[in-house]
Amino acid sequence: MENVILTIHLILALLLIGVVLMQRSEGGGLGMGGGGGGGVMSGRSAANALTKLTWAFAVAFICTSIALTVIAASDAGSSSVIDQIGAPARAPEAPVAPAGTDLLPPVPTDAPLTPPRADN
């Protein structure tokens, strides 16, 4: 049921975006205006139809939003996210070196005390 409502919700969102983008800008903010040519629908009746369609899509979008919220709340029940995780995660312990072993590299005993000179 949740998937059906979610699909309808996404379709309504796309339709709402499309209808809003088809409407004419009344403020003329972008400098674009519609031509006054006649046709099957005049400019005023088309604007009224798009306005009504926008309201219908917006109401349906809000209703599906509320329905999805109610479904998600009923699925959540009384459990918490921390309950779902379980025991808290612990940091992994560092490996322990065996006793009596030295982790430093061996020091050579026959190494010279002064660095060798470069002959030019």
Per-residue pLDDT of 73-113, as tens digits, reads 887 766 666 766 765 556 667 666 666 666 677 667 776 66
Rounded Cα–Cα distance for residues 27 and 97 (Å): 76
This prediction has a pTM of 0.52
Rounded Cα–Cα distance for residues 61 and 54 (Å): 10
What's CA 38's distance to the chain center, in Å?
Answer: 45
Please answer whether residues 68 and 9 qualify as being in contact, where contact means their C-beta atoms are separated by less than 8 angstroms: yes
